[in-house]
Amino acid sequence: MLNDEPPPLGEDLDRLAVAVIRGLAMDAPLAANSGHQGTAMALAPLAHVLYSRVMKFDPADPHWTDRDRFILSAGHASILQYSLLMLSGLGLELDDLRAFRSLGSSTPGHPETGHTPGVEVTTGPLGQGFANAVGMALAERLQRERFGIGAVSHHTWVIAGDGCLMEGVSHEAASLAGHLGLDRLICVFDDNRITIDGGTALACDDDVSARFNAYGWRVIELGDIGEDLDALESALLAARDGDGRPTLLVLRTHIGFPSPDHTDSHAAHGLAFGAEDVTRTKAVLGIPDEPFHVPTELVEAYRAHTSARAAVSRAAWESSSAAARATPEWSATFQPSVEALSPALPTWERGARVATRKAIQVTLDATSDLLPGLVAGSADLTGNTGTKVAGLEVQSVAVPTGRQVHYGVREHAMGSAMVGLALHGGALPIGGTFLVFLDYMRPPVRLAALSGARCVFVFSHDSVAVGEDGPTHQPVEHLATLRAVPGLHVIRPADANETSAAWADAVAHDGPTVLVLSRQDVEVVTDGSAVCTGAATVVDRPSPQLVIVGTGAEVSLAVQAAERLHEGGVSARVVSMPSWDRFRAQPPEAISAVLPAGVPVLSVEAASTFGWSEWADRSIGIDSFGVSAPGGVALQYLGISVDAVVAAARDMVGAS
């Protein structure tokens, strides 16, 4: 607490606030006939202390740069966070709580960033919020080291439950956080020993404290102090002081407390409290037995108190950060300019041969100085995926300024940390792995799209051209699954020029972008212009008899096929379509200019043909797993060849 902060609310208001939060935790799910009551009830004192005594935030500006970040990784207890947002004046009112889990409300079933003010990340899938917090803590450290403690100095607070820590992503993320020594990351483990099926002992005997000690965390056993507000405050403030390690506070709680019927019952994880249960519990709490009982005087006092606390911290920050915020570097970090980037983008001569995974590295090297928020890394494949950026130091305890992150063989944690980095603000994360390992990080890719996080996922080694590693490492269905994710911008550039353009497009895009890149060298056949519209003509002929559409390395193959067809009297247009989603968003006349009505379309892509019926009348692709053979042999064996395209094209136009 700062010396000139206002005093706490006082014992009577503290007691009333906790009781009201617990009442809302029962009332809102009951009214919705859906939701989770018991966890929110048990954690009401902790959340009250965090919001009213410990965390730094400004109710008048939920997006204040130097606010503490709060993540409810146990997102099923969303009514807990909504209650505190309402009491604190962070954009919710009581009617929003009455509309809990209803269509169009600001209080959806699980917290969603960008939908509810004060919600930092989208949680619900257990463990994701915990892993997002690692990225947020890393973003804070990078910015604090760059701009100074007067401009950036905040903490990332997480509440995680047994389910969060059972999920594998928590193991990956906790290990990474401990290795990096992210000492402004503080997680409260809600040790209620309950899962949906019953007690945690049904499935898990982990010693959580020993686990986190082994990861390099500072572990503090708080014991059963969940009802002692002053003890909770002291523990949280002590954790905030830090010792060079992330902190895990192990808090023993009792789900459903203080219900006379459901305390410590696994039924309390869900919708255990009917009307009679609520009545009996409210009698214990000492509040009226009426739905959504929130005294006006409590709301007024709570909001006045949080505003007074904010005024102190905000005024101090406005003064101490003024010099840093006036620098061009601050603007470039928090609002990168694509216009400034454009002159630095590399280009390649037609006919050159370069793998697109190598082209992205050249592009990153050329533009990184203009992007001080760039944070690059990979899951142990930095050189292989083109995500090693010249001039960037490796992030570590010894080099906290480093913007090159070695995530290790932790694809899931990498993706989730990238989402946290992006949603923190002031960070542009790019992370790479092989396309086939999308299988290990699909959850954060989906959540990046759901939350609009500006991340750049690089997936290299994009087809059976991977070669001898065989079908376990050769992606087939992965492109189709990426394209099926709503809100995910997917680009498979044809060559180096489209790769350069794709990077600029990703920086400009207000959301997540996937770059799907080749392992093998690919001939440069485009000027890169197809990226901005999603598709463009690469080779044209007068009155084309058909259109051959390709993506990635198959565009150059289509160009070769079109030349052979031309020699044989068949006129074919070649189109590069690096981004289905971008092309789909074009006006009808722009689409028909590329794919004229009445002209048959043949697609060629070294991947599943699923989905191509939207654009093509016939498709050449791979609808089986790959084979272990050199890349060129595998492609030929599976039918991705000039001969196959020529034969299919001639058949489509009826040529002999």
Tell me the pLDDT band of 656, cut-offs 50, 70 and 90: low
The C-alpha atoms of residue 32 and residue 550 are separated, in whole angstroms, by 49
Over residues 505-528, the mean pLDDT reads: 98
Task: Give the distance, in angstroms, between the CA of residue 286 and the centroid of all CA atoms in the same chain.
Answer: 42
CATH of domain 531-653: 3.40.50.920
| Residue 140 known to be catalytic | no
Residues 211-266 have pLDDT tens digits of 999 999 999 999 999 999 999 999 999 999 999 999 999 999 999 999 999 999 99
Taking the whole predicted model, whether its pTM rises above 0.95 is answered as: yes
Q: What are residue 548's DSSP bridge partners?
A: 574, 602
Same CATH topology for 11-320 and 338-523: the answer is: yes
Nearest partner of 286 among 23, 14, 10, judged by Cα = 23
Mean pLDDT of the chain: 97
Choosing from 112, 140, 233, 411, the catalytic residue is 411
Please tell me the chain's helix, strand, coil percentages from 3-state DSSP, rounded to the nearest 5: 45, 15, 40
Q: Is the pLDDT of residue 275 over 60?
A: yes
Reply yes or no on whether the pLDDT at 293 is more than 70.
Answer: yes
Give tens-digit pLDDT for 83-131: 999 999 999 999 999 999 999 999 999 999 999 999 999 999 999 999 9
* Predicted local distance difference test score (pLDDT) of residue 4: 77
Q: Which residues pair with 376 in a beta bridge?
A: 404, 430
Pair of tokens at residue 597: 């009505």
- How many angstroms separate the CA atoms of 496 and 361, rounded? 10
| DSSP code, position 194 | B
Q: Where are the beta strands (DSSP E) in 273-388?
A: 353-354, 374-378
CATH code of 338-523, in short, is 3.40.50.970
Enumerate the β-bridge partners of residue 185: 156
Residue 440 has pLDDT above 90, yes or no: yes
Identity of residue 93:
E
Amino acid, res. 623: D
Q: Which residues contact 23 (CB under 8 A, 6 or more apart)?
A: 278, 282, 285, 287, 292, 293
Convert the pLDDT of each residue in 163-205 to its tens digit: 999 999 999 999 999 999 999 999 999 999 999 999 999 999 9
Q: Could you write out the DSSP letters of every residue in 276-308?
A: HHHHHHHHHHT--SSTT---HHHHHHHHHHHHH
Taking the C-alpha atoms of 502, 507, 513 and 514 in order, what is their torsion angle to the nearest 10 degrees?
50
On whether the CB atoms of residues 534 and 582 are closer than 8 A, the answer is yes
122 membership: H or E segment, kind and range: none
What is the pLDDT, as a whole number, of residue 1?
45
Contacts of 95 (CB under 8 A, 6+ apart): none
DSSP 104: T
Domain boundaries, the chain: 11-320, 338-523, 531-653
Tokens of 413: 């944690």
Q: Look at residue 312 and give its three-state secondary structure.
A: helix
Looking at residue 598, its amino acid is G
pLDDT above 80: residue 3: no
Q: Say which CATH superfamily domain 11-320 falls into.
A: Thiamin diphosphate (ThDP)-binding fold, Pyr/PP domains (3.40.50.970)
Question: What pLDDT sits at residue 5?
Answer: 82
